[in-house]
Structure 1
Amino acid sequence: MASLEKTSREIQKLLKAMRLCYDVDTEYCDQTSVGDAVRQRALCADLTIVGPALLNDDKLGPFVINGSLFDTGKPVLVVPKGAEATLSPRRVLVGWDSRVEASRAVREALDLLSGAEEVCVALVDPKANYNGNGAEPGADIATYLTRHGARVSVDLLPSAGKPAATVLAQHAIDMSADMIVMGAYGSRRLRERIFGGVTRWIFDKPTLPLFLAR
């Protein structure tokens, strides 16, 4: 509790110096209640930011991801160690697959995407069909983003047998992206596996902020 109070004072001092409108809230609870505590606050927030300390915490991390992302429908910005947290990215890679989760991620990140200098919509091994990607994969979402003022390009990427996440990560490196936007998938029973997958993906891939929604 003393450590929590000390951290709270440090954060308040930082925010006061930045001349921001802010509120700092703390809660000391048992591990199983962490998800509920996070959910209560995330419901009344635009975005939850999860930093490297929580990503390295196998005990608390999954509860935070559950409470903020899966229990609220609100987006989460995951910031791994070494990444620069920003809400004004210059270049953004959007992982697109025409699923609801990807669409929601784009919608939640719309302000970020509209303000970016470059948005690359990337599809891995897309198939042209009228029930999914359309006759021209990526064209529909590119048009949507363009209508909102985003500067968009579409890249169709072959997987060459590699996982889609690996292909997207490499493309993010190639385009010097500042952020990756993508959908988060999984049922309630898969949440801890999702958290493990996200953290492994982050630690194995470039240190870029990852904007997730489902």
Structure 2
Amino acid sequence: MQHRTSTYYLGVNTDDERILECAEAARIQNGHLTCILVAALPNLPYLKYGSNRFVEAGLPSNWLDLLKAKNVALKSRAAEVEALLERQGVSAKVIAFIGSGLELQHLVAQQANSSDIAFLDAELRKDPDLFHRIACGVLFYSPIALMVNGDPFVRRDCIFLAWNDGLPASRAAHLALPFLRVTSKVVIGCFDLPPPDDVEGQVRGTDIAGWLSHHGCNVTVSQFPRGGNSIEHCIQTRAREMGADLVVMGAYGHSYMRESIFGGTTQAMLEQTGIPVLFGH
């Protein structure tokens, strides 16, 4: 867990105490902290129909002023955070950018590509669209894991691995391996039980449990009935029952568009704030 680079996405209003807490934890573990201050563009110009029936662009009269003010505030806060970290003697750097849509996601991923793990500050939840843009940027366009509701510097006593044999879950397990190897207990939780025509005697989760055991993990495989409940409800309930202080799971096993419109396990687990979650996609 030492000498890792952790990318910390935060907003202009993230307080100094929280930043210092993460920085000190990184320093203790000889890690490098990259703080990324992110802001969303003001509402973009819109399209309207003119009297000649052609589409025209409508630009709010104060849009450029709003953009300038946001840029000034972002750069000013970045300078403050940089000075704060320098005074603490932490190995860190500070980057700030403003964007929207797909461009913002690619900017987010560009910073994540040279990191081991990313995590999001809770302050970003005040802008749900920005929060989800950053999360999707990390998950879809970078090779690393994303953590919410916590940071990667805390040692976890029990980790709950939500398992379904899918590729996202497998990638999450591989990305979480540094955490799984040092925790006291790993619980592999399976909810979608295999159909009756599956290979006789095959128990879901045993293959991944064997792999983790070879890495020295203390692993338990548990099959949980859903009882008509949603997967996200089952994960949270069983994780709490097992005393887990981190959930590891695959993200967006269904398409992002489908989950955005109809909801889904990933969306629900991103939105909940009660349990730290590490996602892999």
- The alignment's TM-score, normalised by the length of structure 1, stands at 0.83
Q: Structure 1 residues 68 and 194, CA, compared in 2 at 3 Å: closer, same or farther?
A: farther
In structure 2, which of residues 220, 223, 244 is the aligned counterpart of residue 177 of structure 1?
244
Deviates more, 1:194-203 or 1:169-178: 194-203
1:47-66 equivalences in 2 (<5 Å): 47-66=117-136
Q: Mark the runs of 5 or more structure 2 residues left unpaired by the alignment.
A: 1-70
Name the CA distance, whole Å, in 1 between partners of 2:263 and 2:92: 29
Larger Rg: 2
Name the CA distance, whole Å, in 1 between partners of 2:135 and 2:210: 31
Q: CA deviation at 1:93?
A: 0.4
The answer to which structure, 1 or 2, has the higher relative contact order (CA under 8 A, 6+ apart) is 1
User: Is 1:4 matched up with 2:51?
Assistant: no
Name the CA distance, whole Å, in 2 between partners of 1:53 and 1:196: 23
Name the CA distance, whole Å, in 2 between partners of 1:19 and 1:43: 25
- What value does the CA root-mean-square deviation take over the aligned residues? 2.7
- The alignment's TM-score, normalised by the length of structure 2, stands at 0.65
Contact 1:142 1:153 in 2 (8 A): yes
Q: CA deviation at 1:125?
A: 3.9
* AA aligned opposite 1:105: A
Deviates more, 1:99-108 or 1:177-186: 177-186
Name the CA distance, whole Å, in 2 between partners of 1:209 and 1:152: 20
What's 1:168 paired with? 235
What's 1:187 paired with? 255
In structure 2, which of residues 143, 168, 174 is the aligned counterpart of residue 101 of structure 1?
168
**Count of residues in correspondence between the two structures:** 207
Deviates more, 1:64-73 or 1:171-180: 64-73
Q: Structure 1 residues 196 and 50, CA, compared in 2 at 3 Å: closer, same or farther?
A: farther
In structure 1, which of residues 101, 115, 118 is the aligned counterpart of residue 182 of structure 2?
115
Name the CA distance, whole Å, in 2 between partners of 1:194 and 1:120: 29
* AA aligned opposite 2:210: T
Name the CA distance, whole Å, in 2 between partners of 1:64 and 1:212: 13
Name the CA distance, whole Å, in 2 between partners of 1:115 and 1:14: 31
Contact 2:159 2:185 in 1 (8 A): yes
* AA aligned opposite 1:115: V
In structure 2, which of residues 99, 110, 113 is the aligned counterpart of residue 43 of structure 1?
113
* AA aligned opposite 1:42: A
Corresponding residue SS for 2:81: helix
What's 1:137 paired with? 204
Name the CA distance, whole Å, in 2 between partners of 1:187 and 1:178: 28
What's 2:41 paired with? none
Contact 2:188 2:219 in 1 (8 A): yes
Contact 1:106 1:182 in 2 (8 A): yes
* AA aligned opposite 1:210: V
Name the CA distance, whole Å, in 2 between partners of 1:153 and 1:30: 43
Structure that is richer in strand per residue: 2
Name the CA distance, whole Å, in 2 between partners of 1:195 and 1:68: 20
Name the CA distance, whole Å, in 2 between partners of 1:14 and 1:142: 43
Q: CA deviation at 1:201?
A: 3.6
Q: CA deviation at 1:191?
A: 6.5
What's 2:94 paired with? 24
Q: CA deviation at 1:188?
A: 4.8
Q: Structure 1 residues 12 and 99, CA, compared in 2 at 3 Å: closer, same or farther?
A: same
Q: Structure 1 residues 15 and 116, CA, compared in 2 at 3 Å: closer, same or farther?
A: farther
Name the CA distance, whole Å, in 2 between partners of 1:58 and 1:46: 25
Q: Structure 1 residues 16 and 40, CA, compared in 2 at 3 Å: closer, same or farther?
A: same
Corresponding residue SS for 1:26: strand
* AA aligned opposite 1:39: A
* AA aligned opposite 2:171: R
Q: Structure 1 residues 137 and 119, CA, compared in 2 at 3 Å: closer, same or farther?
A: same
